[in-house]
Amino acid sequence: MSDLDRAGKRQLRRQFLEERRALEEAAHVRTGEVLRDTLRAQPWMPAAGTVACYWSIGEEPDTHRLVTALWEHGATVLLPVFLPGGELDWAAYEGPESLAEARYGLLEPTGRRYGVEAPARVDLVVCPALAVDRSGVRLGRGAGCYDRSLSHKGPHTPVVVPLHEGELVADLPAEEHDVPVDAVVTPAGLRVFDPGSPVWQAPPVPGAARS
Ligand SMILES: Nc1nc2c(c(=O)[nH]1)N(C=O)[C@@H](CNc1ccc(C(=O)N[C@@H](CCC(=O)O)C(=O)O)cc1)CN2
Ligand SMILES: Nc1ncnc2c1ncn2[C@@H]1O[C@H](COP(=O)(O)OP(=O)(O)OP(=O)(O)O)[C@@H](O)[C@H]1O
């Protein structure tokens, strides 16, 4: 990737972060509710023993509702631990007391570590992004830690990204190491990129006009 492309990606990140900062609190809550309800409505969800998610911070779409609902339902919810080298380790959410403040304002799980290859053994990955395009290319924070982490997952393990409205875009710059995502959840509901995918069911999200 050229320096120009890299600068373009940085500029895109800045733009999406700025737009996030302008969002009202209600937008975060709404996305969080739709995310929780959409994923819980998937017929395979009760069998999903282990889900890799993340604990949202700041202006990210809320994941706390989803994590709490899955955990209360008995699933093992793994959350990332950002290692100094930029890799992600994983530990289980065990209630609010199991999180501690970490670098960059992150809240991270303090329990036993599952190892950087834990995504190989999960049933679903809920992954953060600033934006996703219509072919499933995601734009992350730029540390590359999710690209590295997703490379450990099984080829058929679904990946879904929670997004605010306006963050599902027509086109993003793609790179060789990018691992495409399968679906996004926006306040308008679930959007699956492979229309023939047998994995996902349209969600019964009350009041959500699907786009
Ligand atoms: N809630 C949440 N947890 C997450 C992520 C995430 O995006 N959201 N991550 C997703 O990857 C990993 C953490 N990655 C991060 C990468 C960069 C920065 C960050 O704030 N960077 C500063 C610049 C840091 C610096 O001084 O170099 C910045 O972007 O302004 C934070 C987290 C794992 N946990
Ligand atoms: N599988 C990988 N192994 C090693 N380095 C990687 C891998 N994937 C990405 N990287 C490196 O990480 C850096 C950032 O990549 P990129 O710009 O695609 O990040 P991103 O997808 O926006 O962020 P993130 O993955 O943290 O959400 C790049 O310099 C890239 O070379």
Residue 195 has pLDDT above 50, yes or no: yes
Amino acid at 87: E
User: What pLDDT is stored for residue 47 in this prediction?
Assistant: 81
Give the pLDDT score at 203. Answer: 53
Binding residues for ATP are 9-13, 138-146
Lookup: tokens for 74: 């008995």
For the chain, what percent of residues have pLDDT higher than 90? Answer: 78
- For residue 145, the CA-to-ligand 2 centroid distance in Å is 6
What's the whole-model pTM score? 0.92
What is the complex's ipTM, to 2 decimals? 0.90
Q: Which ligand is nearest to the CA of 139?
A: 2
- Mean pLDDT over 96-105 rounds to 96
Q: Are 16 and 130 in contact (CB under 8 A)?
A: yes
**pLDDT number for residue 14:** 97
Q: Show me where the domains of the chain are located.
A: 3-193
N- to C-terminal Cα distance for the chain?
32
- Strand duo 76-82 + 50-52: pairing: parallel
Rounded CA gap, 122 and 77, in Å?
A: 9
Cβ of residue 13 lying under 6 Å from some atom of ligand 2: no
Architecture of domain 3-193: 3-Layer(aba) Sandwich (3.40)
89: DSSP letter: E
CA distance 14 to 197: 33
